[in-house]
Amino acid sequence: MLFSQLPEDVLYHVVSFLDHRSLCRLSQVCKSMHRFVNRDAVWRKIAKEFLNTGITRDGTDIYPHIPLKDRVKTAQNWFNGVCKRASPLKWKTKLLPWLQLDGDTLFLSQAANIGAYHLHQGTRRLLRNPFQIYSGHQGDVCRFAVTDSNLISGGSDGKILVHSRRNHVSLELSGHNQEVNCIDSKDGLIISGSRDRTVRIWTLTSSSPRDTIPMYDRVWSVAISPTLSSFATGTACCENFSPLLIWNVERSACVCSLGSEFRRGAGVLDIIFESPFQLFTCGYDTFIRLWDLRLSPRRSCVMEWEEPHDSTLYCIQTDGNHMIASGSSYYGVVRIWDKRQTKCLQFFQLSSDPVSSPVYCLRFSSSHLYAALATALHSLDFKQSPIYIR
């Protein structure tokens, strides 16, 4: 019996012991082996060990429409820092832009407007003219969140606008009396934080907040848990209590505070929930930290990664598995981290201007990373010719 004639369950067991190079060699044996080896099921175990392949820690596939073998090829470029740089959008006035990715659409705030830009499905190249512009704020947009049906923005005018993505209808939510520094939304729930030292809980059924929580400090970041039962807040750390708090949504009550050794002024600028009980934070104290809410009553972080040049970290994103991307405060530096290592894996200085600019926001897909700086949107294309895999 030929190797290719073995039962499929036996073949799957055999190839599970091969690495990606051996699999590629095996695929060149014959047409039947090529078809078998190119199946996603063959590559799934390998893909979970690589960076940003779309396979999360719990096994969820974020990009099921892209063959796993292709994603493993691209993952090697993420690991080795092989990419093509571009600046698809530039503007003359210095701004504090924010961006979000949703499939083949990139949303970018510029002053009081938010533009929606198409990404070419194959090349991911940004089409320079927005196909939709969301407006209505009397000041700059500070933050916005994107859901399947709405775009929710918070502005320096203290207002929150809920823009429908299906029509041109907008709902105004009024309550904050200073700029809305941060906002998050999931399944009709909206959490906002402001310089006015309050957090407000909203629903789409009312223009008034359901609850208002006094924070006694400026609120820089908020994030809703995937279960919708809790949310996290990050403050400026100018008072004598932890800047990182977890709240119960229904009771609007503080569940716990995380960390006790934050320096004064070490505000939390970004929060990412990776699971209902694990979250990542970054901010002025130059660290990325991983927190595990199951470790009660121990409230210290379980892992941390330090920005090597002592720069404030403005933003982070994770792939749900091994990779973290961070944006720092000087010269547009983006770093790629492997959670299994303590040192930075790769870094990219995006700004060539003599005047430094922070990376205000970054987002990545399986093949591209987009970063918003003061005067430009930068992109890193990792879908280049693979080095090891054919």
DSSP assignment of 337-369 equals: EETT-SS-SEEEE---SSS-----EEEE-SSEE
Tens-place pLDDT, residues 142-187: 999 999 999 999 999 999 999 998 887 889 998 899 999 999 999 9
As a whole number of angstroms, the distance between CA 33 and CA 91 comes to 51
Tens-place pLDDT, residues 197-208: 999 999 988 888
CA 156-147-366 angle, to 5 degrees, is: 105
Q: What is the mean pLDDT of residues 210-214?
A: 94
Q: How many CB atoms lie within 10 A of CB 366?
A: 19
Domains of the chain from N-terminus onward = 1-38 (1.20.1280.50), 79-381 (2.130.10.10)
Percent of the chain with pLDDT over 90: 67
Tens-place pLDDT, residues 63-104: 999 999 899 999 999 999 999 999 999 998 999 999 999 989
Tens-place pLDDT, residues 287-344: 999 999 988 655 778 999 999 988 999 999 999 999 999 999 988 999 999 999 999 9
What confidence score (pLDDT) does residue 26 get? 73
> Mean pLDDT over all residues of the chain?
89
What confidence score (pLDDT) does residue 1 get? 53
As a whole number of angstroms, the distance between CA 134 and CA 141 comes to 10
The residue ranking higher by pLDDT, 258 or 384, is 258
On whether the CB atoms of residues 313 and 286 are closer than 8 A, the answer is: yes
- Stated as kind and residue range, the H or E segment containing 294 is none
Residues 122, 125, 97, 148: is their CA dihedral positive or negative?
negative
As a whole number of angstroms, the distance between CA 135 and CA 312 comes to 30
Show Cβ contacts of residue 133 under 8 Å, excluding neighbours closer than 6 positions.
113, 114, 115, 116
Helix, strand, coil shares of the chain, percent, nearest 5, are 10, 40, 45
On whether the CB atoms of residues 64 and 366 are closer than 8 A, the answer is: no
What confidence score (pLDDT) does residue 21 get? 80
User: Where does residue 239 rank: exposed (0-12), middle (13-18), buried (19+ CB within 10 A)?
Assistant: middle
Q: What is the pTM of this model?
A: 0.92
As a whole number of angstroms, the distance between CA 378 and CA 136 comes to 26
DSSP assignment of 205-258 equals: T-SS-SEEEE-SS-EEEEEE-TTSSEEEEEE---SSS-SEEEEETTTTEEEEEE
The residue ranking higher by pLDDT, 193 or 383, is 193
Band (pLDDT 50/70/90 cuts) for residue 390 is very low
Backbone angles phi, psi at 333, to 5 degrees: -85, 125
DSSP assignment of 78-128 equals: HHHT--EEEEEEE-SS-----EEEETTEEEEEETTEEEEEEB-TTT-PBPS
What confidence score (pLDDT) does residue 221 get? 97
On the question of pLDDT at 232 being above 90, the answer is: yes
